């Protein structure tokens, strides 16, 4: 899956490492900022938010690496990835709207 025919430039390496660090740090920072959840709904919302942030950042990393030619993925997979990302956003939006209007 990975192409090894091209040397990774410094900016590509820093971007990749930066995205990985960002994907790991942002959910942790959000949970620390949020504080201790008072209810189960807040706890599940916090968990879903962390998973969502990680998934979106990882998706962008895959798209960037594919666009730079570092990943050799089929076009059908990339189309599926785009549809899955939209589905993920729709699911999270439905959950958030339900939480807002239920309380």
What is the value of pTM for the model shown? Answer: 0.59
Contacts of residue 21, defined as CB under 8 A and 6 or more positions apart, other chains included, come to: none
Give the phi and the psi of residue 36 in degrees, each rounded to 5: -75, 125
Contact yes or no for 78/1 (Cβ under 8 A): no
- Scan for tokens 């030619």, then name that residue: 69
Tell me how far CA of residue 66 lies from CA of 58, 74, 79, in angstroms.
12, 10, 12
- For the chain, 103 residues long, give each residue's pLDDT as a single digit of tens: 555 555 667 777 787 778 777 777 776 777 777 677 678 877 777 777 777 777 888 888 888 878 877 778 888 998 898 888 888 888 878 887 887 788 6
pLDDT at 5: 53
């Amino acid at each position: 899956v990975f192409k090894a025919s091209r040397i990774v430039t410094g900016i590509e390496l820093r971007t990749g490492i930066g995205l990985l660090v960002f994907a790991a740090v942002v959910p942790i920072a959000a949970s620390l900022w949020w504080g201790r959840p008072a209810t189960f709904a807040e706890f599940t919302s916090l968990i879903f938010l962390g998973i969502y942030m990680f998934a979106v950042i990882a998706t962008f990393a895959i798209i960037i690496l594919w666009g730079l030619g570092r990943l050799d993925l089929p076009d059908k997979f990339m189309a599926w990835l785009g549809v899955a990302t939209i589905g993920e956003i729709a699911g999270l939006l439905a959950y958030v709207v339900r939480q807002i209007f239920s309380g």
